Structure 1
Amino acid sequence: MPPVPQKINAPNTGDHLITSCPADHVLLLTLNRPKALNAMTPDLQQDIERVLDWAEEEPEVWVIIITGAGRAFCAGQDLKAWLQGPRTEYGLHEHGFGGISSRRTLTKPLIAAVNGIAYGGGTELILNCDLVIASEQAKFALPEVSRGVIAAQGGIPRLSNAAGHQLASEMLLLGRPISAADAYTRYNIVNAVVPHNNLMSKALEWASIIISNSPDAVRSTKKALLLAKEHGMWEGSKQHFASPLHQAAMTGENIKEGLVAFNKKRNPSWKNPPSKL
């Protein structure tokens, strides 16, 4: 019988967000508004923000996976709710759409398991994930212009950077959906496309591979990627080398464990990384 995964005491949330721990050190977030295609509301946004803020500081969490319940990953903003509220409030969140899309800089890997349609903010959300695994049934779209809205939650620059100006323009200006296969082969915004029934097993497989590595080294490596994207290669490398995450990874217990395990030809036994640096 396989070992029972540990329990992680995540903050309480509404029914619109399910938190679970399908494997040791893995936090799974499931958007749970299937009748509304997991469209984002202010309350759901707030709960995601709170859970991710907690997860960033929780030593037991090494990897985060986000997915959707039902036939959608996330259909974007709940436009019915938006119509009834102030139009400005949706652009003022600290970390962008869903607490992820634009300014969220988690040092822990974030995997999107895209189970169905990811439209509008749903596509913007996955563009700021580290790894994106898509069901063959998934579809992606940035149809904001057809509703008089703008993909201003990180989608425009991230898509342009990944796909290039012309392909980004095709998706943004036409507003038409693209298949998972096109997202993988043409647009370069998906890491893998898998059969629908294999989606979560593939996400957990990748999470387990990440967890087999030193959590200190993984967090420091992700920090280096973020700094290089923001500041360029040389300045990013300079800032990363001087960062507390890098210093902790190079002087902590896990680097010593990794070197000892290599010399003794055994698997390393990693410890939780420091909660705050």
Structure 2
Amino acid sequence: MSSKPPQHSNELLVSFPSNHVLQITLNRPKSLNAMTPQMSDDLKKVLDWFEDEPSLWVVIVTGAGRAFCAGADLKAWNKDQQSGTNNEQESIAANVHGFGSISRRQSNKPIIAAVIGGAYGGGMEMILNCDIVVAAHDAKFALPEVKRGVVAVQGAIPRLARIAGHHLASELLLTGMTVSATEGQNRFGFVNTVVSSSEVIPTAVAIAQEIIQNSPDAVQSTKKGLLLSQRHNFQEMVHTHVWSPESKRVYKGDNIKEGLKAFAEKRSPVWKNPSKL
């Protein structure tokens, strides 16, 4: 790597389980990894660094202990509400990356969620904006905001509506019901793979390793296309994508030459880190 991770508190653990792969672990296990301002700030700093570090191609996000993330710290939120110092609308609008700096982050690099235990509220909003979700058999998911008088406004509503469709999204969002990992995979469609708890991290790492076998230029341009498809119709998406900086880097860079040459020579390609955009 050309740089080191930024300074962060012990509410976040940073590791590198494989070449080109970053792992971020939410580390407040006694509080079920409920989000704090410190943890959110740490996530923003580390993820912003990840975005800018050419040697890191994939990130895995997980939680320590019995939960992925229980969402917001409701006790602290209650104090703000009761004291009249709340400014939720302003803070949500100002936080461009959303809950935990993930739920609305528009990253061109793949994000894998490795879920052990519960992902509730903001925690589920985070995983809904990840590209691949690996969950333990006993993992639980819920958007229970309506049960507490609040709203899943950090990105879950449009993301879940696209993934599951209006009616299934409504069932989760309007009832606040809890669903299993199997339901998340087979009925609602936001879980990719369900494995035993002990296999969640190894499976996530294995998927990351599959991704990094491919050209990082091509992977990041493909991810850009997926993001654009959420905002544009078919023709606009294709046109915007093909003229994007990510596409230019693909077609003018070294990795496309290496990939095609390796195919002609019947060998595995040796990819270079992408150039900064």
TM-score (norm 2): 0.95
Spell out, residue by residue over 1:232-273, the C-alpha distance to the aligned partner (whole angstroms, 9 max, x if none): 221011111001110111110111110111111111100100
Letter in 2 for 1:71: R
Spell out, residue by residue over 1:166-206, the C-alpha distance to the aligned partner (whole angstroms, 9 max, x if none): 21111111111100000000000111111111111100110
- Per the alignment, residue 220 of structure 1 pairs with 221
- Per the alignment, residue 101 of structure 1 pairs with 103
Letter in 1 for 2:8: T
The alignment covers a number of residue pairs equal to 270
1:32 to 27, 30, 33: 27
Letter in 2 for 1:95: H
Distance in 1 (alpha carbons) for counterparts of 2:245 and 2:96: 23
Residue 19 (structure 2) pairs with residue 18 (structure 1): no
Letter in 1 for 2:57: W
Letter in 1 for 2:39: L
- Per the alignment, residue 201 of structure 2 pairs with 200
Give SS of 2:154's match: coil
- Per the alignment, residue 130 of structure 1 pairs with 131
- Per the alignment, residue 155 of structure 1 pairs with 156
Residue 61 (structure 2) pairs with residue 61 (structure 1): no
Q: How far off its partner does 1:107 sit?
A: 0.7
TM-score (norm 1): 0.95
- Per the alignment, residue 165 of structure 1 pairs with 166
- Per the alignment, residue 41 of structure 2 pairs with 46
- Per the alignment, residue 264 of structure 1 pairs with 265
- Per the alignment, residue 86 of structure 2 pairs with 87
For the Cα contact (< 8 Å) 1:112–1:133, is it kept in 2?
yes
Letter in 1 for 2:86: R
Distance in 2 (alpha carbons) for counterparts of 1:54 and 1:84: 33
Structure 1 residues 24 and 7: alpha-carbon distance in aligned structure 2, compared to 1, 3 A threshold: farther
For the Cα contact (< 8 Å) 1:8–1:60, is it kept in 2?
no
Letter in 1 for 2:13: I
For the Cα contact (< 8 Å) 1:62–1:108, is it kept in 2?
yes
2:69 to 74, 85, 106: 74
Give SS of 2:13's match: strand
For the Cα contact (< 8 Å) 1:34–1:72, is it kept in 2?
yes
Letter in 2 for 1:215: P
Give matches, 1:175-254, under 5 Å.
175-254=176-255
Structure 1 residues 183 and 7: alpha-carbon distance in aligned structure 2, compared to 1, 3 A threshold: farther
In structure 1, the gaps of 5 or more residues are 1-5
Q: How far off its partner does 1:70 sit?
A: 0.2
CA RMSD of aligned residues (A): 1.3
Give SS of 1:29's match: strand
Distance in 1 (alpha carbons) for counterparts of 2:76 and 2:176: 22
- Per the alignment, residue 3 of structure 1 pairs with none
For the Cα contact (< 8 Å) 1:7–1:21, is it kept in 2?
no
Structure 1 residues 44 and 169: alpha-carbon distance in aligned structure 2, compared to 1, 3 A threshold: same
Spell out, residue by residue over 1:131-163, the C-alpha distance to the aligned partner (whole angstroms, 9 max, x if none): 111111110000001111000001111111111
In structure 2, the gaps of 5 or more residues are none
Distance in 2 (alpha carbons) for counterparts of 1:170 and 1:221: 31
- Percent identical among aligned pairs is 54
